[in-house]
Structure 1
Amino acid sequence: MTGLYMLDYGAGNVRSLVNAVEKLGYSITFVKDPADLKKADKLIFPGVGAFGHAMDALQAKGFVEPLKEYIASGKPYMGICVGMQTLFEGSEESTSKGLGIIPGIVKHFSTADKAVPHMGWNATQLVKEQTEVGGQAVNYGIDQDSVYYFVHSYAVPYADNLKEWTLATTQYGDEIFVSAVQKGNVCCTQFHPEKSGFAGIKLLRSFLEGTGVVDDSKVKIFDPRPKSKDLFTKRIIACLDVRANDQGDLVVTKGDQYDVREKSEAGGDVRNLGKPVELAKRYFDEGADEIAFLNITSFRNCPMADLPMLEVLKLASQTVFVPLTIGGGIRDVTDPDGKVHSALDVAGEYFRSGADKVSIGSDAVYSAEKFYANDGVPDGTTAIETIAKAYGAQAVVISVDPKRVYVKDPSETKHHVVKTPYTGPNGETYCWYQCTVKGGREGRDLDVRQLVTACQRLGAGEILLNCMDKDGTNSGYDIELIRDVKSAVTIPVVASSGAGNPTHFSQVFNETNVESALAAGIFHRREVPIDTVKSHLKESGILVREDHTEL
């Protein structure tokens, strides 16, 4: 195909989409200026981030009117996520006006019965049977038996006036929203096909191989209301702790209570459980719903352009078509030559290299402390705030490393306490969870509840909840900690630390209602395969993603 173009306004991860297109045997050209739109035969507009940021960027770069003209020309157009939302008249997220091609306003999800952002895998219900120009029946490969990856806080509620535009709907909690639109030459998805495994790649292939234009006179419209309840699935995340070993090679390691060296009198070599890119591909093939790379050394002396994890992400995103999170070193960076890069700049480099989310650890604790010192008022300068403003809350994960501090009675501390079955050294039955920095090496006068509520206020979209007391024990997740944090925030929570067998996963989902659970060592060593975990969850009546689609 000649003339396949991508409109990138500069926010979010587009590398994965380019890789998916190239995997299907096509090449794609970036739109560099408005005149390039006239050269396009097919156009894809992907987007991760805020509606206002996207529209303001389109306006500033002179793309708004040429984009409208392109769509009006009848040539095929695909919008993804924000690329779909911008077609509407506006959004509650911003005062900026949308393109106004589709009637309606993008609205914020209710948090009454669910976590927001809507982050994870969910089903779609097709509401049209279409015929492509040329006579072939087509629904762009959307499969009602598959689930697709969503990551958004705002959506378009289904309404009867959208019937002619709506291709598919999805239910999340009690809300039914438009998850795909189609009319004539326009096809857009709220979900990310490039992050939806082979089911999503199949959809992209349908758009690339077909005419990209539907004969609207031969469309049959069905009931747009989902026939079943919310089919949002629980995520299983494989985590890769990455650091340089003593020879300077990047390896995936796993510590025992944060100690990553083999036991020996000489201190031992860094524990090597594989190469990060190869291991990430293995986990994708085994069915992981998401993969997290945690850079546990932060490569402090590297200039930003040479950060080793950038290359890891670029290579991993060529073969891994599920979301990638990168953590460690998301902060202001000074190159050896004195050049300073803001945390926002660092995050941008990671997104352009293939990351979908960045995870902030120690800097989140410092940001929370600053928030409370400022009487609970955000000042707009923290990494959480600047990254969320540019890329959306869903792009910012807070990695929390708490440890228990035991007390005999809640009156002994000013911090929020929980009653725990894990008694302290002197028989204490209460504890508060102290937040730590620097990989758990330094405790702060901040409890976990204070941290997560502050970070949500600052704009974070997800909590990755570790537990130093449980790490490496294989004794199960810290249910009390997770339940307490889950009750304190309305954003998704990832349970981490302590998984040792499949029942630990069903327990944490059933007893805390977290959206996802993460494990590392048991997956690396193949002690508990990912498909075994998913089979157990399915047998336990817990919804999980099954991707049996093949290209």
Structure 2
Amino acid sequence: MIALLDYGAGNVRSVRNAIAALGYSLADVRTPEDILTAERLIFPGVGAFGPAMQRLRELGFEGPLREYLRAGRPFLGICIGLQSLFEGSEESPGVAGLGLIPGLVKRFDNSVLSVPHMGWNGLRLQRECELLEDAGARRFYFVHSYFAEPDASNRDWVLAETDYGRPFISAVQRGEVAAVQFHPEKSGAAGLEVLRRFLAGQCILDQAAAGHEPAVGSQSEPTALAKRIIACLDVRTNDHGDLVVTKGDQYDVREQGEVRNLGKPVDLAKRYYDEGADEITFLNITAFRDFPLVDQPMLKVLRRASEQIFVPLTIGGGIRAFTDQNGQTYSALGVATEYFRSGADKVSIGSEAVLIAEAFHARGGHGDGSSAIEQIARVYGNQAVVISVDPRRVYVESPEASSHHCIQTLEPGPNGEGYCWFQCTIKGGREGRDLDVLQLVQACEQLGAGEILVNSIDRDGSGRGFDLELLKMVRAGVRIPVIASSGAGCPEHFTALFAAVDVEAALAAGIFHRREVPIAAVKRELSDRGVSIRA
């Protein structure tokens, strides 16, 4: 029996779907006894260390899990499933881990790095093993803010290391107990192969090499985080009630009176996965977004997509507290939870984030624990929360003419103005607020967001390239990953972006939907220019 230890946090649907896609059946751990009767046990984890360990204890799983691990029985931990094997974590001081592996899990230094470490990185194998055979030449998807450090006390456990500012442990194994920091269920074909090997019992380890230097011929070069190319799908119902992918120019999705129809959401997303997209984002812009939990078609899209697509999925639209037509109140956390359980890995918060930031500044620059950002990050981790920013340029004659963060621009205004600030908008860009982009992103970072998606109303659909001035401002203002969006019209625009601004990812929609620019052409251009990508 292959058993899944689901402690109730994060997206485990993708793990289930990956295992099903490989032809294996799966049983859920429902009681402590189920752990001890499992023939193979998988412990996936998305979220924070403390809540995960607390939940294991509340369910009575900790004791049987320790017994199972001490017996050296077949086990695969994923992400928190790896970190839980250590003695504790700086993420949750005073909360004990399982203590199987010596060491304390630490936080990456965000003074020099964007944190979380998010995206596709490589492995540097330390020992020969069947589980990760040939994996040294592949990239896998990581998303975490905390890491386990290799040292003399845990050297006999370390199977692979990865570099992000410093080396960290990306895989461990002793006997048949193994764990990985990356997400194999989100790492495409390479990740599915790791899962297949574990499920098939192909986990033989070169025990003679334990605690020694890497075997001769193993990978020794530093690993590198790849730049991500993300395909975005704006999804809404058209005038006939069909759920379609659409795209607007300056956010207008109608063409000759009809909603522009560029394809079916799941079919188009699957095409992008097959073409090499590193992530896929769904933005729910339907009329249902005020009542997202009633929007069963969108939840169905997520469920169907996660059955076929094994890279990260982000969903945006309606991530806020709301009251439905029957007077039933739902929290933002409840809405996000339903999306996670339906297959999303991250949720994207747009207009609601602007209102949250305004309240943050009105309180003097601190949160009160009630916002959607704080609630979701506290349970699922910072990496689960993306802030989608929709700014537009407001031109002024001089910095003194505005109280907002201004830049001197190389794109003068309509009357020759040489300065501008970037105004945040809500309601799909239809309403401007007295809040600039730096005020927004810095507030959201402090509240617990893990990533910023920077759109541009001025560049949307223009094909003129990304707004580099806007992106430089945001990149300099936060220490979390940044995704650039809006304006791409050719592969060279992606090269120019990554050469000018140290953002982690670039997102596009219309040029991919209309096949004007294939994803493969973008990656080929980047590779030819020496930019690190996932092939």
- Report the TM-score, using the length of structure 2 for normalisation: 0.97
Partner of 1:281: 270
Return the offset for 1:303.
6.4
| 2:392–2:425 CA contact under 8 A, matched in 1 | yes
| 1:124–1:169 CA contact under 8 A, matched in 2 | yes
Partner of 1:269: 258
Runs of 5+ in structure 1 lacking a partner? 131-137, 547-551
Separation in 2, partners of 1:461, 1:77: 29
2:241 corresponds to which letter in structure 1?
G
After superposition, the C-alpha distances for 1:12-66 in whole angstroms (9 at most, x for unaligned) are: 1011111110011001111112121122100000011100110111111111111
Is 1:85 the equivalent of 2:74? Answer: no
| 2:155–2:211 CA contact under 8 A, matched in 1 | no
Query: Considering only aligned residues, what root-mean-square deviation do their CA atoms show, in Å?
Result: 1.5
Is 1:322 the equivalent of 2:316? Answer: no
Is 1:252 the equivalent of 2:241? Answer: no
| 2:377–2:448 CA contact under 8 A, matched in 1 | yes
Partner of 1:65: 63
- Change in 2 beyond 3 A, CA 1:545/1:244: same
Separation in 2, partners of 1:492, 1:472: 24
2:47 corresponds to which letter in structure 1?
G
| 1:141–1:202 CA contact under 8 A, matched in 2 | no
Return the offset for 1:498.
0.2
2:370 corresponds to which of 370, 374, 381: 381
Partner of 1:237: 230
Identity of aligned pairs, percent? 59
Partner of 2:191: 200
SS in structure 2 opposite 1:164?
Answer: helix
Is 1:353 the equivalent of 2:342? Answer: yes
Return the offset for 1:305.
5.0
SS in structure 1 opposite 2:288?
Answer: coil
2:369 corresponds to which letter in structure 1?
G
2:158 corresponds to which of 128, 141, 166: 166
- Change in 2 beyond 3 A, CA 1:326/1:300: closer
After superposition, the C-alpha distances for 1:389-427 in whole angstroms (9 at most, x for unaligned) are: 000000000000000000010000000001112211110
2:490 corresponds to which letter in structure 1?
N
Separation in 1, partners of 2:337, 2:10: 8
| 1:360–1:397 CA contact under 8 A, matched in 2 | yes
Return the offset for 1:227.
2.9
After superposition, the C-alpha distances for 1:48-93 in whole angstroms (9 at most, x for unaligned) are: 1100110111111111111101112232000000011001000000
Return the offset for 1:333.
2.8
Count of residue pairs brought into register by the alignment: 532
Partner of 2:23: 25
Separation in 1, partners of 2:295, 2:507: 29
After superposition, the C-alpha distances for 1:317-351 in whole angstroms (9 at most, x for unaligned) are: 11100000000111113232221111100100100
After superposition, the C-alpha distances for 1:90-109 in whole angstroms (9 at most, x for unaligned) are: 00000211010100000000
1:184 corresponds to which letter in structure 2?
G
Separation in 1, partners of 2:23, 2:260: 39
Separation in 2, partners of 1:480, 1:303: 35
Partner of 2:174: 183
Alignment of 1:78-157 (within 5 A): 78-95=76-93, 96-130=95-129, 138-141=130-133, 143-157=135-149
| 1:303–1:336 CA contact under 8 A, matched in 2 | no
Separation in 2, partners of 1:220, 1:92: 25
Is 1:434 the equivalent of 2:416? Answer: no
| 1:129–1:219 CA contact under 8 A, matched in 2 | no
Is 1:418 the equivalent of 2:407? Answer: yes
Return the offset for 1:542.
0.2
Separation in 2, partners of 1:403, 1:100: 51
- Change in 2 beyond 3 A, CA 1:227/1:214: closer
Partner of 2:499: 510
Partner of 2:458: 469
| 2:128–2:206 CA contact under 8 A, matched in 1 | no
Find runs of 4+ consecutive structure 1 residues off by over 6 angstroms.
none
Separation in 2, partners of 1:168, 1:316: 31
1:94 corresponds to which letter in structure 2?
S
2:164 corresponds to which letter in structure 1?
Y
SS in structure 2 opposite 1:284?
Answer: helix
SS in structure 1 opposite 2:308?
Answer: coil
Is 1:480 the equivalent of 2:478? Answer: no
SS in structure 1 opposite 2:483?
Answer: strand
1:223 corresponds to which of 214, 223, 226: 214
2:288 corresponds to which letter in structure 1?
F
Partner of 2:516: 527
Return the offset for 1:298.
5.5
Alignment of 1:34-45 (within 5 A): 34-45=32-43
Partner of 1:496: 485
Separation in 1, partners of 2:134, 2:514: 36
| 1:71–1:185 CA contact under 8 A, matched in 2 | no
